[in-house]
Amino acid sequence: MQTRPWDNAPTPIQQALVRGHRWLAMLESGVAKNLTEVAALEGMDRAHVSRMLNRTNNEPPTRHIEKLDMPLPTNDNDSHYHL
């Protein structure tokens, strides 16, 4: 089987999704109270964090799911990762 680029390193979309879900977890757990705090903790602009969270929360069109090539959650601990 031929190795695909995303088999060895995450793609930018995969990295963005992981980052967005991490930020959601920070908000849900109380580590950060709002997007401003998330941005400060991550050393990023609040507007960028807001845009990325909006994209993370939007369900991707079906045609893009195959491109993610990521396993779906298998247990309740991953239940907040909706793809």
Tokens of 42: 């991550």
Decide: pTM greater than 0.85. no
**83, 28 Cβ separation under 8 angstroms:** no
Pair 16, 76: CB distance under 8 Å: no
The single residue listed with the structure tokens 């967005």 is 20
Measure the N-to-C terminal CA separation of the chain; round to a whole number of Å.
26
Helix (H, G, I), strand (E, B) or coil at 2: coil
Cβ pair 23, 46 in contact under 8 A = no
Residues 20-76 pLDDT 10s: 989 999 999 999 999 999 999 999 999 999 988 888 877 655 555 555 555 555 555
